[in-house]
Amino acid sequence: MLDLQSLTDDELLNYVVDYAFQQEERLTELSVPVQTVYFISNFEAEFYNGGIQQFLTNSSGQFAKETAASFASIGASGLAALLQEAAALGPESTDEEALAKLNHELHAIYPTSAEGNVGDQLSSYLRNQPAESLPGISSPAAG
């Protein structure tokens, strides 16, 4: 079992990301914090690979609303609002102007905006979760 206090933020994020993707087939059974990491990491991979349209049209797009909620839960409300707009457009959107506008706005604030850096926000979020919600990680409070 890993000790939460001894992990750097990067180590913590990498561990939870790896765990989440290894458990992808049972995503709905995972704790909310692990799902949050999964949704945000999946968004990041798709967004950097092909923009908001790739995120929406690939399988990750089915979780657009959950991804928006995940950003909101870590304190990235600006990103959450933009993803809600994207979710409303849907994967079949042909509104190139709206998609281009969203891409531009997302690139302007991702991963760092006035609200903070997403990686830092996500690490802080994880450190404030009950130890039992992070499989394989213990904290002094959990004993």
DSSP code per residue over 27-75? GGGS-HHHHHHHHHHHHHHHHHHHHHHHHHHSGGGGGHHHHHHHHHHTT
Look up the pTM and report it. Answer: 0.93
Instruction: Specify the residue for token string 């969203």.
Output: 102
Crossing angle of helices 77-89 and 64-73, in 10° steps, is: 170
Measured at the alpha carbon of residue 117, what is the angle toward residues 8 and 9, in degrees to the nearest 5?
Answer: 5
- The first and second tokens of residue 137, run together, are 């990680």
pLDDT tens track of the chain, all 143 residues? 899 889 999 999 999 999 999 999 999 999 999 999 999 999 999 999 999 999 999 999 999 999 999 999 999 999 999 999 999 999 898 899 999 999 999 999 999 999 999 999 999 999 999 989 999 988 765 44
